[in-house]
Structure 1
Amino acid sequence: MRMNEFNIGSTMPFGGYTWRILDIKNNAALIITEDIIEQRAYHDAYKDITWAECALRKYLNGEFYNKFNATDKSRIIPVINNNFDNQWYGSKGGEDTQDSVFLLSIEEVVCKYFGDSSSKLQNRGKNQRYWFERKDENNSKRIARLEGKNWGTWWWLRSPGRVNVKAVYIHGDGNIGIQGNNILKGNISDGECKGGVRPALWLKL
């Protein structure tokens, strides 16, 4: 694929997965897996945690990263990620991190790469569990499938939820759960239903 064939919104193969291009800057692309590639807990213990210390970050930058061959690794660009506090509840986002592979933040998903719904993020309505309910025009852009199914599947973001034993997630219908799901057991109402993982990374083109 030649440079001029890379376009924001298009898909591309890399490392055995299909990725969607979210952004292109300086001959590099921000890409995210088109589908949920697996289900994992955000952390391996029920305790206050931020992205910097969580088990899912360790996995993505260790075991998952090491699945790529040397040539592919040479194209992955480590970046500094900002990890902001939760806008509604004030739970701590933690320190900035250097990541080769990462999850997107709520700001990246809501304001930048899946349409701009920033006004809803900044203006919380009354009694909202998800601020979108089913009315946000960008919900459909955030839906991801796991093994061909999308209803009932959801995927993690790296941002903290209402408290630091929860992390924000994208619901199966594209709503954003800003309160978060349990970092260890995911959605308690579904039993031990672990969240979906959609890795993201910056790639040299």
Structure 2
Amino acid sequence: MENFKMDSTLSFGGYNWRVLDIQDNVALLITEDIIEQRAYHDAYKDITWADCSLRKYLNGEFYDKFSEADKSRIMPVLNKNLDNQWYGSKGGVDTKDSIFLLSIEEVCKYFGDSRSKLYNRGKNQRYWFERKDENNNKRIAGFEGETWGSWWWLRSPGRVSVKAVYIHGDGNIGIQGNNILKGNISDGKCTGGVRPALWLKL
């Protein structure tokens, strides 16, 4: 059995994971790195986490890559999907997920503790969470061995329902969101990074 400690890393199912939380003999894990790049949804239309193609992929094709023994340790969880705190866009219904993306609330809680800035928002927070947040660097993740950060999706809704919130390459939270189909339209091709999360039975 692995030696589980908060903020430690471990190997499971062929990926390296970081321990974000431990509760009642179950640990919340997120992949240490961005493991692939995908669109949040496969069409440009109003969508929430409950119905997006990325959720379907993570709980279907991606989940099915795990062995039966590994699957027996992955604990389904009921996720709350809150509305965007700045713009009021709808987060959608609660979802039961085996594999999922983190929410704004979870990244503010588990990557250092930035919850005070989330619940007591500054007047200049319109596009970014907090550029000077001391925990930004803890949210930086690379893709395919790169030494700089790439951006990665959260499951929370962006400014409108064709956008989803993301973590910028510098670790800041893009509260207005990126385009669900093409990510950052200005680059014309980039889709967001994926860092799956799950609850693992110890």
- Corresponding residue number in structure 2 for 1:114: 111
Following superposition, the deviation at residue 82 of structure 1 comes to 0.3
For the structure 1 residues 127 and 26, does the alpha-carbon distance in structure 2 shift closer, same or farther, using more than 3 Å as the test? closer
Tell me the secondary structure at the aligned position of residue 118 of structure 2.
helix
Per-residue CA deviations over 1:42-87 (Å, capped at 9, x if unaligned) read 0000000000000000000000000001100011000100000000
5+ residue gaps, structure 1: none
Following superposition, the deviation at residue 125 of structure 1 comes to 2.3
Following superposition, the deviation at residue 129 of structure 1 comes to 1.7
- Corresponding residue number in structure 2 for 1:11: 9
For the aligned residue pairs, the C-alpha RMSD in angstroms reads 1.2
Cα pair 1:150 1:173 within 8 Å, conserved:
no
- Corresponding residue number in structure 2 for 1:74: 72
- Corresponding residue number in structure 2 for 1:182: 179
1:22 pairs with 2:37: no
For the structure 1 residues 100 and 120, does the alpha-carbon distance in structure 2 shift closer, same or farther, using more than 3 Å as the test? same
Cα pair 2:22 2:28 within 8 Å, conserved:
yes
Cα pair 2:90 2:161 within 8 Å, conserved:
yes
| Count of residue correspondences | 201
- Corresponding residue number in structure 2 for 1:60: 58
Q: Structure 1 length normalisation: TM-score? A: 0.95
- Corresponding residue number in structure 2 for 1:130: 128
Q: Percent identity?
A: 76
- Corresponding residue number in structure 2 for 1:170: 167
Per-residue CA deviations over 1:141-175 (Å, capped at 9, x if unaligned) read 00011012254610000000000100000000001
Cα pair 2:142 2:149 within 8 Å, conserved:
no
Equivalent in 37, 40, 55 of residue 38 of structure 2? 40
- Corresponding residue number in structure 1 for 2:152: 155
Per-residue CA deviations over 1:72-113 (Å, capped at 9, x if unaligned) read 001100010000000000000000000000000000001x10
Following superposition, the deviation at residue 115 of structure 1 comes to 1.3
Cα pair 1:143 1:150 within 8 Å, conserved:
no
Tell me the secondary structure at the aligned position of residue 179 of structure 1.
strand
Code of the residue aligned with 1:93 in structure 2: it is: G
Q: Distance in 1 between matches of 2:19 and 2:149?
A: 25
Cα pair 1:20 1:33 within 8 Å, conserved:
yes
5+ residue gaps, structure 2: none
Code of the residue aligned with 2:129 in structure 1: it is: W
